[in-house]
Amino acid sequence: MISDYPFLLVDIERCERNIADMAIKAKNAKLSFRPHFKTHQSRAIGRLFKKYGVDKITVSSIGMAEYFASDGWCDITIAFPFIPHTAERVNALAEKINLNLIFSSPRNLLAALDVISAKIGVFIEIDVGQNRSGILPEDTRTQALMLNLIADKSNFSFKGFLTHAGHSYSARGKSEIEKIHTEALTRLAKLRAFWKEQYPDIIISYGDTPTCSVADDFWGISEIRPGNFVFYDTMQLGIGSCNVSQIAAALIVPVVDVYPEKQKLIVHGGAVHLSKEKTAINGIDCYGLVSRFNNKVWDEPTPGAYVKSLSQEHGIIQYENGSLDDLKPGDLLAILPVHSCLTVDSMGAMYDFDGNVYDVLSKNNNHEA
């Protein structure tokens, strides 16, 4: 089936269930569902979303927009502030599909005015607390400045405000996530109210995986854009966004050596495969949870076992109570990655239980785009 280890295995059934659950939630809450495709970066996984009525998507780069446009997606938001050097490619793509860009400040917007000639949809990026990029929801003066610039460009069609409450990633548990969610929605509702008269059809675009997974109420929001939920991962488990049976991707690694006296084992699966992202599970920093693998599917994580450290190619697994003492070199284990987005990007390909390969765009292929 697969010729080389480690490889990234995807449970397509779980993946589809995750998609279905989120699509149903969006429908029930009367939200437009524009999932972020940066997690899977795969045309084949993307096609699964069509079964659940998805016809518009979010991406994080022009290369990713081109990649999915070439597979028939014709309504795409690039949810990354405009980058001047992409102007030519943006103009070309916007001739073919409905393309939305986001602008994070007047400065960022000014950089587009002279170089974007195609018709595009425009979002102003709002910062509801992540403190990364965008305008504060209360800063209506700067918003007005940007709206005036947008109104003067006949090929720019103002769509609304877009935000990513990425600070939800530092939450632990449902109540912390809901607190962030409620605060964000309150601030966005005021923003919407402020501009509603002038822009009655304003879109408020929102949605990271933690809030979209946990919350049921999305008052004032028009569309959600979660991405990570398609696979979830150990970080989302730690945040409280998912349970372990929703995690749909695992890195399959061969055991290289076992040190029962240290309750430690070495696998071939390192930072170049999993990425160096870590998260706290039960108060212990880890680079992934560890499951038995029976050559087809993976089990529930082994209690007390976790990836303690990573070198470039080595993974060091710590475990308790002899739970993995029986393993020997060549046996396979499944590691539930901390951040599936980064693991997918690192691996550059995925496999399903039937051995089918799912190509991934990944930034390596961007060089050829």
Residues interacting with a copy of itself, by CB under 8 A? 3-5, 7, 38, 60-61, 63, 80-85, 104-105, 107-108, 111, 132-133, 166, 254, 256-259, 266, 268, 271-273, 275-277, 309, 311-314, 316, 328-330, 341-342, 345-349, 362-364, 366-367, 369
198-220 burial, b at 16+ Cβ within 10 Å, e below that, comes to eeeebbbbbbbbbbbbbbeebeb
Query: What three-state secondary structure class fits 246?
Result: helix
Q: Nearer to a copy of itself by C-beta: 149 or 272?
A: 272
Q: Secondary structure of 152-211 in the HEC alphabet? A: CCCCEEEEEEEECCHHHHHCCCHHHHHHHHHHHHHHHHHHHHHHHCCCCCCEEEECCHHH
Shortest Å distance, C-beta 325 to a copy of itself: 11
Among all chains, which residue has been given the structure tokens 């109570």? 321
Q: Nearer to a copy of itself by C-beta: 132 or 190?
A: 132
Cα gap 180→211, rounded to integer Å = 8
Q: Which is nearest to 226 in space by CA: 39, 81, 369?
A: 39
Shortest Å distance, C-beta 365 to a copy of itself: 8
CB distance 6 to 273 below 8 Å: yes
Q: Nearer to a copy of itself by C-beta: 7 or 218?
A: 7
Shortest Å distance, C-beta 162 to a copy of itself: 14
Copy the structure tokens of residue 281. Answer: 């599970």
Shortest Å distance, C-beta 257 to a copy of itself: 5
Q: Nearer to a copy of itself by C-beta: 188 or 258?
A: 258
Shortest Å distance, C-beta 85 to a copy of itself: 6
Shortest Å distance, C-beta 312 to a copy of itself: 6
Cα gap 210→181, rounded to integer Å = 9
Q: Which is nearest to 171 in space by CA: 206, 133, 210, 132?
A: 210
Q: Nearer to a copy of itself by C-beta: 175 or 311?
A: 311
Copy the structure tokens of residue 192. Answer: 């919407």
Strand ranges, E, within the chain:
7-10, 32-33, 57-59, 75-81, 98-103, 120-126, 156-163, 203-206, 223-224, 249-259, 264-268, 279-281, 284-286, 288-293, 298-310, 314-318, 332-337, 349-351, 357-359
Q: Nearer to a copy of itself by C-beta: 30 or 85?
A: 85
Q: Nearer to a copy of itself by C-beta: 186 or 366?
A: 366
Q: Nearer to a copy of itself by C-beta: 104 or 222?
A: 104
Shortest Å distance, C-beta 318 to a copy of itself: 12
CB distance 135 to 175 below 8 Å: no
Shortest Å distance, C-beta 111 to a copy of itself: 4
